[in-house]
Amino acid sequence: MKKYIAEFIGTFTLIFCGCGAMTINEVTGGAVGHVGIGITWGFVVISMIYALGDISGAHLNPAVSIAFAFAKKFEWKEVPKYAVSQFLGGLLASGILAYLFPTSQFLGGTHLAEIIDPTRGFILEFLLTFFLMMVIINVSTGSKEVGIMAGFAIGGVVMLEALFAGPITNASMNPIRSLAPAIMSLKFDNIWVYILAPVLGALAAVSSCKLIKEDNCCSAEC
């Protein structure tokens, strides 16, 4: 059970801190700021990888778990268990944010900017997750992070994408990160974009990785 508890705690921390930064920014009229939000997302990912990576791999994202299974770096039977742990952790974090900040409308949830339609938003989220998974698949084994810089590499990509794409789609790259606050805020606008695009983007990253580095992207775990 340790790895499932680790995924629960890790996803709880991810959502509480990341969505919490967005929620606090909303209720304070911008005290955290866009850059502050991006930095928060990046550093919470880095922290959770170093804290929990050697226990569960610190997926914190069902799209990542599915992609690892597709790459044969993770057992398919573990995917539903990881996804449930991640969902429960994210839901609890969003529930606590709803209690702490009842005036928040979105609780750090994701929504598309007015300047972009759902199709373009889908493409952007697909590409963001593609880039993220390309880094993840090359610095991890699926159950344990590889190398001292793995956390910074993955967290750095999250931070980068949150900084430049956050104003357009909120840079989700994670179905749970979007679904949990949507459930608590009852705002499900274009939620399909944030569930489907990350999964397909992560799978595409694994498929493309196999073309250039097959030994790393298609090997069974020991």
Q: How far apart are the C-alpha atoms of 141 and 18, rounded to whole Å?
A: 25
Rounded (10°) angle between helices 150-169 and 33-56:
140
Burial (0-12, 13-18, 19+ Cβ within 10 Å), 102 = exposed
- The structure's pTM equals 0.92
Q: Digits of tens for pLDDT over the chain (222 positions)?
A: 899 999 999 999 999 999 999 999 999 999 999 999 999 999 999 999 999 988 998 999 999 999 999 998 899 999 999 999 999 999 999 999 999 999 999 999 999 999 999 999 999 999 999 999 999 988 876 555 555 678 899 999 999 999 999 999 999 999 999 999 999 999 999 999 999 999 999 999 999 987 877 665 654 432
Reading phi first (left if > 0) and then psi (alpha if -120 to 50, else beta), residue 17 is in alpha
Residue 93 token pair: 């974090």
Q: How many CA atoms lie within 13 A of 169 on its CB side?
A: 31
Neighbours of 94 (CB within 10 A): 28
- What are the backbone dihedrals phi and psi of residue 29, each rounded to the nearest 5 degrees, phi first? 75, 30
pLDDT at 220: 40
Domains, the chain, with CATH or none? 2-217 (1.20.1080.10)
Residue 159 near residue 41 (C-beta atoms within 8 A): yes
Residue type, 62: P
pLDDT at 209: 82
pLDDT at 145: 52
Q: Dihedral of CA 66/198/23/25: which sign?
A: positive
pLDDT at 112: 97
pLDDT at 216: 56
Return the residue matching tokens 């429960």: 88
Residue 221 token pair: 């775990």
The distance of Cα 87 from the centroid of its chain, to the nearest Å, equals 12
Q: How far apart are the C-alpha atoms of 67 and 76, rounded to whole Å?
A: 10
Q: How far apart are the C-alpha atoms of 191 and 189, rounded to whole Å?
A: 5
65 membership: H or E segment, kind and range: helix 62-70
- What are the backbone dihedrals phi and psi of residue 145, each rounded to the nearest 5 degrees, phi first? -70, 150
